[in-house]
Amino acid sequence: MKIKVLGSSAGGGFPQWKCNFPNCDGFRRGTIDARRRTQSSLAVTTNSADWLLVNASPDILAQIASNTELQPARAVRDSGIAAILAMDAQIDHVSGLLMLREHHGPLPLYATAPVWQDLRSGFPIGPILSSYCGIEHRQIPADGGDGATLEIPFLTGACDGRDVQRGPAAHRRHALD
């Protein structure tokens, strides 16, 4: 299994457009040694041809451009992005779906029922994309407590018998000193 980190920054990227804390300010002034970073997203594959995009950040076009493996050029209109996994419906994790609107068919989107509901009403990307490529929702269980597993056809057998466990993620707010 191959996992590519496409972006590792918080919403807005690094440096953030509205931030003047020492890192962002220092980057702009050239006083710190840092690299520009795009917003968080991953790509996962087992065959180096079909990729699962984990979250679709607003920076997806730049991320595709800087990762040629995501554009294998198998056909005139093609992409290596075979499906998307939406971890949540936060704007900085799904607005990149709008950039993928010219996909050759409905975008396969793996998401829990609550995330899919948000993408149909709260931040209605689903209805918006129905006028373009459309989205093919593939529901995943919200947790692994019922023994259900998530199977993504082109990733089947990818973990060599090791199991990937789903469950609630712990989040904490970071204090700024």
173, part of any domain: no
127, part of any domain: yes
33, part of any domain: no
Q: What is the C-alpha separation between 135 and 84, in angstroms, rounded?
A: 10
Q: What is the C-alpha separation between 169 and 87, in angstroms, rounded?
A: 11
24, part of any domain: no
- 177 residues of the chain, pLDDT tens digit each: 899 999 998 888 899 889 999 999 999 999 999 999 999 999 999 988 899 999 999 999 999 999 988 887 777 777 889 999 999 999 999 999 998 888 878 889 999 999 999 999 988 988 888 888 888 999 987 766 665 666 777 675 544 434 444 444 444 443 433
59, part of any domain: yes
- pTM of the entire predicted model: 0.78
Q: Domain of 109: which CATH number? A: 3.60.15.10
Which residue segment(s) compose the domain that 108 sits in?
A: 2-10+39-143
174, part of any domain: no
CB distance 54 to 61 below 8 Å: no
CB distance 75 to 101 below 8 Å: no
16, part of any domain: no
Count: domains in the chain: 1
137, part of any domain: yes
Q: What is the C-alpha separation between 120 and 115, in angstroms, rounded?
A: 9
